[in-house]
Structure 1
């Protein structure tokens, strides 16, 4: 199995385990590589640091939960393994440019606010599932992503 296939399989596995603890040691054990080699391989293949990728995917899933459910922000933060609501809010604002509460309120408006939080796919890994998309620079880079976000 070549490096690209290994990373693609790992991305699929990560996607299905975002609401579980994903320690680097566990992810490395799943891949069969040392954590140091896996991190180098992941970055050289995807252009993303493994930890950053997992954090961005968790935040993307949390954003979906904020828009789709009335659950408390703290519950969503804990579901995606953030230590506290303040740490979740800081990470969320850093990625999306707005707090979770403001983001959630945007879903109750006419939908124009959704365009400010577009999603771009991880290059080379789009396979028809919105699950492999990252929020990045607030811009959607492909038509599949735009359709998924309702743009």
Structure 2
């Protein structure tokens, strides 16, 4: 895990811990041990966004989920999102989603309402069971995924890290925080490798075979959430083929991913 990735994960944790309060970027930078200029540079390198844009988007996503829960009033949601009053929250919400907060309660699939990266139509493949060796970490995705990949890499020998290696590097996110069952800081991420005969001292995991939609995405692993928003939102709503929600979606990387480096990524989504 490089320094930028580590710093970004630390900043994200600080933001989540303060999301219900007015956030001052100077204070966030100070707590993270960064200058304001360095904070902005970290966000640019990590997710190609300014910290302000990232925080506003995160607040609106969390607010949308809270409104759908129906236990909180719009005012309570506004205050929990760091707004001083309901009207300011309503204006920001409408600017983000195109409709007032009251309409959010009528939406069935929250993911279809979130910012996304439009992908080309997938191809469809039949896969056999895939045996993997995996390392699983728990926490915020921006922290758990880099930790899992770092620990997996430490278990591999040099020949398994070269371009000549014929195995697959696979990432699996086990939990969807948008469902409201598992909090954002408790999601599980598994970094996996296939086609290694020796026991590398990792857990065993099997991805069940069957029919999958294979989506291609070119970008930074840190921004994979935008691809997921499209697949499980826009694509899932218009597709006649239904996603198998009880099987694992998995991601195939060209190599052990560096969260700040663009690469070709294939997202495999199980189908019924």
TM-score, with structure 1 as normaliser: 0.72
Which residue in the other structure is 1:140 paired with? 229
- Distance in 2 (CA, whole Å) between partners of 1:34 and 1:83 is 27
Which residue in the other structure is 1:45 paired with? 46
- Distance in 1 (CA, whole Å) between partners of 2:9 and 2:67 is 28
Indicate the RMSD between aligned Cα atoms, in angstroms: 3.4
Number of equivalenced pairs: 137
Pairwise CA distance, 1:69: 2.8
Pairwise CA distance, 1:117: 1.0
Which entry has the higher C-alpha Rg, 1 or 2? 2
Rate the CA distance shift 1:38–1:99 in 2: closer, same or farther, 3 A.
same
- Distance in 2 (CA, whole Å) between partners of 1:116 and 1:71 is 22
- Distance in 2 (CA, whole Å) between partners of 1:79 and 1:11 is 18
Which residue in the other structure is 2:94 paired with? 93
- Distance in 2 (CA, whole Å) between partners of 1:45 and 1:114 is 25
The answer to whether the aligner puts 1:64 opposite 2:65 as a matched pair is: yes
Rate the CA distance shift 1:142–1:11 in 2: closer, same or farther, 3 A.
farther
- Distance in 1 (CA, whole Å) between partners of 2:13 and 2:53 is 16
Q: Which portions of structure 1, spanning 4 or more consecutive aligned residues, are displaced by more than 2 angstroms?
A: 113-116, 118-121, 124-134
- Distance in 1 (CA, whole Å) between partners of 2:63 and 2:3 is 32
Which residue in the other structure is 1:30 paired with? 31
Which residue in the other structure is 1:2 paired with? 3
Q: Secondary structure at the match of 2:60?
A: helix
Pairwise CA distance, 1:56: 1.1
Which residue in the other structure is 1:117 paired with? 113
Q: Secondary structure at the match of 2:15?
A: helix
Rate the CA distance shift 1:8–1:99 in 2: closer, same or farther, 3 A.
same
Q: Secondary structure at the match of 2:99?
A: coil
TM-score, with structure 2 as normaliser: 0.43
Q: Unaligned regions of 5+ residues in structure 1, if any?
A: none
Rate the CA distance shift 1:114–1:45 in 2: closer, same or farther, 3 A.
closer
Pairwise CA distance, 1:39: 1.2
- Distance in 1 (CA, whole Å) between partners of 2:56 and 2:111 is 21
